Amino acid sequence: MCRKFHGAAFSTYAEVSLEDFTVTAGEQLLQSYQAANGTVRKFCKCCGSSLIFESRYNRQDKTIEIALAAFDVIEHVAPNAHIYLSSKVDWFEPNDELPKFKDFRE
């Protein structure tokens, strides 16, 4: 579903604690979609950009995932893991030393 939603081989998100996240403006512009597996995706009603992702794992950890592509500046953000590799495309293989997980962070 992520690949289809983004039209790309993979997507990049930052995991954020719900306690540390607040939408300060434009909340009325967010549209939600709930997938059959319970995952909730929030996107912009105007342009369709993916903004927020919340899976059952996030609900357990009280976190959400914020799409990094939505930010104008992300130089201070670096990946710390590869997740959901069970659904990756066959032609891409992460070749770094970051932790790799079949689904979320098992």
The CATH number covering residue 59 comes to 2.170.150.70
The pLDDT of residue 53 is 87
Residue 35 lies inside a defined structural domain of this protein? yes
Residue 42 lies inside a defined structural domain of this protein? yes
The set of residues, in sequence order, having a beta carbon less than 8 Å from that of 42 and lying 6+ positions away, is 30, 31, 32, 33, 51, 52, 53, 54
Residue 105 lies inside a defined structural domain of this protein? no
The pLDDT of residue 106 is 61
Residue 102 lies inside a defined structural domain of this protein? no
Query: How many domains does one find in the chain?
Result: 1
The pLDDT of residue 56 is 76
Q: How many CB atoms lie within 10 A of CB 39?
A: 19
Cα-based distances in Å from 74 to 12, 33, 41, 66: 11, 26, 21, 12
Q: What is the pTM of this model?
A: 0.74
Q: In which domain, by residue range, is 83 found? A: 2-20+29-87
The pLDDT of residue 4 is above 60: yes
Q: Using pLDDT thresholds of 50, 70 and 90, give the confidence band for residue 90.
A: very high
Residue 9 lies inside a defined structural domain of this protein? yes
